[in-house]
Amino acid sequence: MKVLITDDEITTRLTLRGLLSQHDCEIVEAASGLEALDVIQSDSPPNLIFMDWNMPDLSGVEVTTLLRETLSEDQPYVIIVSSYNADEQILEALSYGADDYITKPVDGNFLNAKFAVAKRIIDTQEKLKQSNEVLQKLAYYDELTGVLNRRAGNASFMVELERCVRNDQNLSVTMVDIDYFKNVNDTYGHQTGDIVLKEFANILRKTIRPYDIVCRYGGEEFLLIAEVNSCHEAQQLFERVRLAVNALEIKDGPLSLKITASFGVYVVTPSIQLSFDDMVKYADEALYQAKGEGRNRVIVKSALNDGDAPLQEAY
């Protein structure tokens, strides 16, 4: 925890530093309100501030008001330290956004008690922030593979679709499915299956272009969303991905596994009427055909000219 002591009088700073030295915290000092603002706005801001009220440039309550107005999150805990000891003055400081108040001359027992309260609140806030980050990650990303989950894939599709409509660019939606994946689980166990899924997601992510989208649609099915100029370009792109999957050697201890995957690609000239579910349905049909024709292949379908019915391009 980082603590900022702000006071224009060096004796007060020394007293506070002395009293706080028994606690496990990093202490920095500022000799004015402006100096305090510099520390607050730096790359490593304080979690807790002991702030003098009266200072020559900016007063402690002015600094507190400013930071409550400007900093959106990660607000420091502010304790105003002042010789003003009337109830109205204490209430006034709290009304400006201070969290607590302590009168001068500072009493060590009081300071320790208030420090403990501040630490408890700061620690709780930090834990809350961390769990919010985890929750946010879980809301968008697949836990096992780290790629987008289906919901986020759907949202990304809408963004991508709008961009393609604006730029008059064709769009491909591809359903990829690992071939005979059930055999991996049945032969080597679910944990090895999970390793295969992770490695498979990694190779997809690495092989397609950085601005294309990978999402785990479910089980061992992944969805790729990519801008393409033509069916021919889509075929080339996913052939490259297919060959990278073929070349992959997945290690699990002494075990070394090879896998293949089938790709069902659907290419369209986007229009705003196009739904995610329809695109997935057509990509699924292409995938079904790839499986039927022997797996480990890329089937591209398209309705590039118009109409809903997917037409298979000749290759």
Residue from 181, 217, 263, 282 binding ligand GH3 (CB under 6 A): 181
Interface with ligand GH3 includes 150 (CB under 6 A)?
Answer: no
Span near ligand GH3 by CB under 6 A; candidates 29-37, 96-104, 185-193, 236-244: 185-193
100 binds, among Mg ion, ligand GH3, none (CB under 5 to 8 A by kind): none
**Residues pairing with 215 in the sheet:** 148, 223
54 binds, among Mg ion, ligand GH3, none (CB under 5 to 8 A by kind): Mg ion
Determine the length of the chain.
315
**Residues whose CB is less than 8 angstroms from the CB of residue 241 and which lie 6 or more positions away in sequence, other chains included:** 176, 203, 204, 207, 208, 224, 263
**Residues pairing with 299 in the sheet:** 264
Q: Write out the binding residues for Mg ion, residues 129-188 only, by CB under 5 A.
A: 177-178, 181
Q: Write out the binding residues for ligand GH3, residues 282-301 only, by CB under 6 A.
A: 291, 295
- φ/ψ of 226, rounded to 5, equals -140, 140
Interface with ligand GH3 includes 182 (CB under 6 A)?
Answer: yes
Interface with Mg ion includes 238 (CB under 5 A)?
Answer: no
Residue from 1, 2, 8, 295 binding Mg ion (CB under 5 A): 8
Give the Cα separation of 267 and 239 in Å (integer).
Answer: 15
Which position among 220, 227, 239, 293 bears the catalytic label? 220
- Number of Cβ atoms within 10 Å of the Cβ of 92: 16
Does the active-site annotation cover 220?
A: yes
Q: Do 215 and 148 form a contact (C-beta atoms < 8 A)?
A: yes
Give the Cα separation of 164 and 303 in Å (integer).
Answer: 16
Q: Interface with ligand GH3 by CB under 6 A: which residues?
A: 144, 177-182, 185, 190, 193-194, 197, 219-220, 291, 295
Q: Interface with Mg ion by CB under 5 A: which residues?
A: 8, 52, 54, 177-178, 181, 220
